[in-house]
Amino acid sequence: MKALQLNVFGDPVESIGLVELPEPDGPGEGEALVQLEYAPVHPSELLMVRGMYGVRPALPFGMGQEGVGIVLAVGRGVRNIAIGDRVSMPLDGATWRERVVLPAGELIAVPIDADPRQLSMLRSNPPTAALLLSQYVDLQPGEWVIQNAGNSGVGRCVIAFARERGLKVVSVVRRPELVAELMAAGADAVLVDQPKLSKAVAEATGGAKIRLALDGVGGESTASIASCLAPEGTVVAYSGISGKLAQISALHVIFRDVSLRGFWLEHPRWHGHALIAQAVAQATRLVAEGKLHTPVVGEFSLDEARLAFTRAQQGGKVLFRIHPST
C-alpha cells in the first residue's frame, strides 16, 4: 500500500517520501476500513514539515490532515456508517495513503452525490472559520468582519459562514484579479491591501464599526487590518502564511485598546467539542448546496508528490487524487 511519510524536517519536496506499507488489518470492533479518494495539502502541513508548526511529531510520521473516502469494511458494533458510504476523515488521520483503519465514531458520513474534492476539506477550514466568527467577539447580524487571506480556504469558509449568520465580510487580498472572484463567492467587499487600507474600508462599509479582524497572513498585513478596527476591537491570528511575525501598532494597543489573540484548531480545548461537529455538518450542507467552494489548482497522485508539494508552495489548494470513485 502506498503512503507518504515525513522522514526529516526540511523542504517538503525533499523531506516527504513515498513508501510501501503493509495493507491494514481488517477493522476490529468499532472500526472501519476506508479507501481514500481525495486528501488536501494544507499550509499548516507544509509548516510542520519545515519544523515551524506548533508540534514536531516523532519521525517517521504518516502525513495527511484530512480527506474523504469510501468505507470498504466495518467491524462489529459499528452503527453510524456502512460499507459503501462516503466519509469525511478525522483530523490527523494520516490520509496521504491509499487505505486506513480508523475508529468508526470519528468518521462522518457525507453525501455520495456531492463533489468529493470539496468534501475532502470539511474538517479543518470550516470549523476554523466557524469558531473564529463565534468565539472571540459576540457579533450580531449586520455587523462587519474584516479578514486578510480572503482567497484562502479559511477565508472562503469565513465568507460562507458569515452569510449564514447575517454578517458582512471585508476580504483583503493581494492581487486585483481576485476581487471579482471573491465578490461572486459572496464577499460583501473585497479590497486589495494598500497603505491606507483603513480609509478604503471605511468607504466600503459606510464607516461601520468593525470589532473583529481575522489574520491568516502575519507581518505588516496584521497591522493593516488592525488599523481598521474600532476601539476595543480584536485581531485573531490563526495562521501566518507570510512567515513573518505578526505586527500591530503600539498606538492601537495603547490608545484604542485593540487586542491580538490566537486560534489553533488542535488546541485541547477544541478536542471533541460539539461546535466542531456542528460546523462540519453545516459545511457539508453548504458544499452540497453549492454555497461553499474552494478552487483547486492541481490534483496529483501519491506518486506525483514532489510535483504536488512544488505546486502547493506556489499558492492555491492542491489535492492528492488517490482512488477517486467519481
String of DSSP letters for 212-263: EEEESS-THHHHHHHTTSPTT-EEEE---TT-S-----HHHHHHS--EEEE-
Domain that residue 33 falls in: 2-122+296-321
Q: Are residues 71 and 137 in the same domain?
A: no
The chain-wide mean pLDDT, for the chain, equals 96
Domain with residue 114: its CATH number is 3.90.180.10
Active site residues: 53
In a domain, 70, yes or no: yes
**Residues 148-179: pLDDT tens digits?**
999 999 999 999 999 999 999 999 999 999 99
- The whole-number average pLDDT for the span 205-233 is 97
Domain with residue 244: its CATH number is 3.40.50.720
**Residues 1-19: pLDDT tens digits?**
999 999 999 999 999 999 9
In a domain, 282, yes or no: no
Q: What is the pTM of this model?
A: 0.95
Q: Are residues 253 and 134 in the same domain?
A: yes
Q: Which residues of 189-223 are buried (b: 16+ CB within 10 A; e: fewer)?
A: bbbebeeebbebbeebbeebebbbbbbbbbbebbb
* Domains in the chain, number: 2
In a domain, 308, yes or no: yes
- The whole-number average pLDDT for the span 39-45 is 95
Q: Are residues 304 and 246 in the same domain?
A: no
